[in-house]
């Protein structure tokens, strides 16, 4: 009888622990909102660059890409959750001025008040899907 009771208690503790863990993860993921994206972000160049490339995120799910203050392309973005955090999907960017097509699915590796790092993990066009972009808030 004690064996059956202790098994039930152990099972209930496991369910409680799992529920608590899932709730905490959901709260952490919910801390990322579009509010963290809104505004202008400057791409940190990986090498010498004479151009300033910025992305400006708007509340209406649009993002505008500018080179040296001139709008060159725009897109629509959506924020989605996945099992490890969150991701942003971009659709509608055009390849202009030698800047690669930026469409695709990006994992958000870091996003705070000053820095955002995106890693593209899926791209529907030909070529490599992997592309890393580092931004600094303007």
Query: What is the average per-residue pLDDT within 22-43?
Result: 69
66-71 long-range CB contacts below 8 Å, 24 or more apart?
67/97, 67/99
The confidence band for 127, taking pLDDT boundaries of 50, 70 and 90, is low
pLDDT digits (tens, 9 = 90+) for 90-119: 999 887 766 677 888 999 999 988 999 999
pLDDT digits (tens, 9 = 90+) for 51-82: 899 999 999 999 999 999 999 999 999 998 87
Task: Please state, for a pLDDT cut of 70, what percent of the chain lies above it.
Answer: 70
Query: What is the average per-residue pLDDT within 121-125?
Result: 76
Residue 88: name the closest of 111, 72, 69 by CA. Answer: 111
Across all residues in the chain, what is the average pLDDT? 80
Mean pLDDT is highest, among 9-13, 40-44, 96-100, for 40-44
The confidence band for 122, taking pLDDT boundaries of 50, 70 and 90, is confident
User: CA 74, CA 122: separation in Å to the nearest integer?
Assistant: 19
Are 132 and 117 within 8 A, CB to CB? yes
- Note the pLDDT of residue 93: 87
Burial label for 14, CB within 10 Å (0-12, 13-18, 19+), is: exposed
Residue 41 has pLDDT above 90, yes or no: yes
- Note the pLDDT of residue 115: 95
């Amino acid at each position: 009888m004690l064996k059956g009771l202790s098994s039930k208690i152990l099972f209930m503790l496991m369910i409680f622990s799992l529920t608590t863990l899932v709730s905490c993860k959901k709260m952490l993921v919910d801390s990322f909102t579009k509010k963290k994206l809104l505004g202008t972000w400057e791409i940190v160049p990986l090498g010498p660059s004479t151009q300033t490339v910025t992305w400006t995120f708007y509340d209406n799910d649009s993002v505008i890409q500018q080179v040296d203050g001139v709008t060159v392309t725009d897109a629509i973005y959506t924020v989605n959750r996945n099992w490890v955090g969150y991701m942003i999907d971009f659709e509608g960017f055009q390849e202009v001025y030698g800047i690669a097509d930026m469409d695709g699915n990006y994992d958000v590796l870091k996003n705070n008040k000053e820095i955002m790092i995106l890693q593209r993990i899926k791209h529907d066009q030909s070529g490599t899907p992997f592309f890393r972009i580092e931004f600094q808030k303007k």
